[in-house]
Structure 1
Amino acid sequence: MIPEKATQLPKAAKIVWLIHDVITLLFLVAVEIAIYVFFLRGNFRQLEMLFLIVMVLVAVLPIIHMILIPYFYRFRRYVIDEQAVYIYRGFIFRKSESIPLNRIQNVDTKQGPILRYFKLMDLSIETAAHGFKIEAIDEATAKKLRGQLVEAALHAREVASDD
C-alpha cells in the first residue's frame, strides 16, 4: 500500500512519457518501413505478410503504453525518511523498493532535452547490488534530493561505523 505521505511526480511527467512514446513509435514505424522497402517488397510474398503482422504488433506496444500513462502516473510515488528511500509503482502489479541510506553509493541526476524543456530530471540511486530510479521529478526537487541523499548516506555510514 502506498503511504499517504508519499510524493507524487509532477503532472508534466505524463507529457514527457507521451512524447517519449510518440518518438519511439515514429522510430519503430520508420525502421519497419525501411526494412519493408529495402528487403521484403515484392521478393518474398510469404515473409511479407508475416512481417506486416509483426510490424503491426510492434507498433501497438508504444500505443498501449501511451494508453496506460495515467495508470503509471497515478501509482508512481516516492518517500524519503531518515532511514531509507521508498519507491512505489503500480496498483495491479505492485512494486515497492526500499533503499537503506547507509547502502547508497552514488546519486546522479540525468536530464535529456525533453526533460530539460519541462524542467524535470531523473534521479538515479545506486547501491552495490542495484540501481533505482525516480523518473521525471522537478529539477529543483531533484537537486535538493540529490544533496539530501548524499548527506544522509554519509551520515548513516558514520553512525554505522561508530557502532
Structure 2
Amino acid sequence: MIPTNAKSLPQAAKKVWAVQAILVMGIVVVADICINSLFQSHWSHAVMTAINVIFCAILALAIGRLLCIPYYYRYHKYLLTPDAVTIYRGFFLRKTETMPVNRIQNVDTEQGPILQYFHLQNIVIVTAAHNFKIETISEDVAQTLRDQLIAAARQAREVDTDD
C-alpha cells in the first residue's frame, strides 16, 4: 500500500512517457518498412513473415505501454523520510524499493533531450549494491531532493561514526 504522503510525479511525466512510446513505435515502423523494401526479394516468405510478426509484437507492446501510461503514473511515487528513500512503482506487478540514507554513496541527476524539453530530470541514487532511480521529476524538485539526500546521507554517516 502506498502511503498518502508519498509524492507523485509531475503531470509532464505522462507526456515524456508518451513521446518515448511514440518514438519506439516510429522506429519500429521505419525499421520494418526498410527491411521489407530492402530484403523482400532476397529472403523467403517465411522469414519475412517472421520478421513482420516480431515487429508487430514490438509495436503492440509499445501501444500497450502508451495505453497504460495513466495507470503507470498513478502508482509511480516516491517518499523521502529522515531514515530512508522509498520508491513505489507498478500497477500489475507492484514494486517497492527502499534504501536507507546511510547507505547512499552518490546521488546523480540525468537529463536526456526529451526530459530537457519538458524541464524534467531523473535522480539516480547509488548504493554499494544497487542503483535506484526516481524518474521524471521537475528540475527544481530534483535539485532540492538531491541536496536533501546528500545532506541526509552525510548526517546519517556522522551519527553512525559518533558511537
Q: Same fold (TM over 0.5)?
A: yes
Q: Which amino acid aligns with 2:10?
A: P
Match of 1:141, SS?
Answer: helix
Name the structure 1 match of 2:74.
Answer: 74
Name the structure 2 match of 1:64.
Answer: 64
Matches for 1:74-153 after TM superposition, within 5 Å: 74-153=74-153
Distance in structure 2 (CA, Å) of the matches to 1:71 and 1:154? 36
Q: Percent identity?
A: 45
CA shift, 1:36, in A, is 2.1
RMSD: 1.2
Matches for 1:5-16 after TM superposition, within 5 Å: 5-16=5-16
Match of 2:79, SS?
Answer: strand
Distance in structure 2 (CA, Å) of the matches to 1:76 and 1:150? 23
Distance in structure 1 (CA, Å) of the matches to 2:113 and 2:58? 26
Identify which range, 88-97 or 31-40, moves more after superposition. Answer: 31-40
Q: Which amino acid aligns with 1:116?
A: Q
Partner deviation per Cα, 1:81-107 (whole Å, 9 max, x = no partner): 100001011233111110100000110
How many residue pairs align between the two structures? 163
Distance in structure 1 (CA, Å) of the matches to 2:137 and 2:9? 6
Distance 1:82 1:111, change over 3 A: same
Match of 2:88, SS?
Answer: strand
The alignment's TM-score, normalised by the length of structure 1, stands at 0.95
The alignment's TM-score, normalised by the length of structure 2, stands at 0.95
Unaligned stretches of 5+ in structure 2?
none
Distance in structure 1 (CA, Å) of the matches to 2:45 and 2:115? 44
CA shift, 1:42, in A, is 5.5
Name the structure 2 match of 1:155.
Answer: 155
Partner deviation per Cα, 1:8-31 (whole Å, 9 max, x = no partner): 000010001000111111112222
Partner deviation per Cα, 1:2-54 (whole Å, 9 max, x = no partner): 00000000001000100011111111222222222222345412212222222
